Amino acid sequence: MFDSKVIHVNDENFVSEVLLSAKPVLVDFWAEWCGPCKRLGPTIEELSNEISTVKVCKLNVDDARETAMKYNVMSIPTVIFFKNGEIVAQEVGLQGKAHYLEIIQKL
């Protein structure tokens, strides 16, 4: 097993890790009880280890309710891409790795 480069964010560190990041950020909004979120997990891990141009983060919606509500996350998994503190793309539901790579290429 390889070391994960995924950064776990929450209400306290979201601004510093995501909004103030010098590089684009992928944030996976997820929860322990969510089946599709668990299936997406390995894809997020792979992206974090394969892509150096984007910071990869996970936010547990049960532990960071304020941030999840701020970004109107109603369904999970939701993956939001941020650049310079702004949302540049948002995907709701389970998507394939190729789909996320396509978005990352455009950042």
Dihedral of the alpha carbons of 64, 66, 69, 71, in degrees to the nearest 10: -80
pTM of the full structure? 0.95
Digits of tens for pLDDT over the chain (107 positions)? 445 799 999 999 999 999 999 999 999 999 999 999 999 999 999 999 999 999 999 999 999 999 999 999 999 999 999 999 999 999 999 999 999 999 999 99
- Residues identified as active-site: 34, 37
Segment holding 42, helix H or strand E: helix 35-50
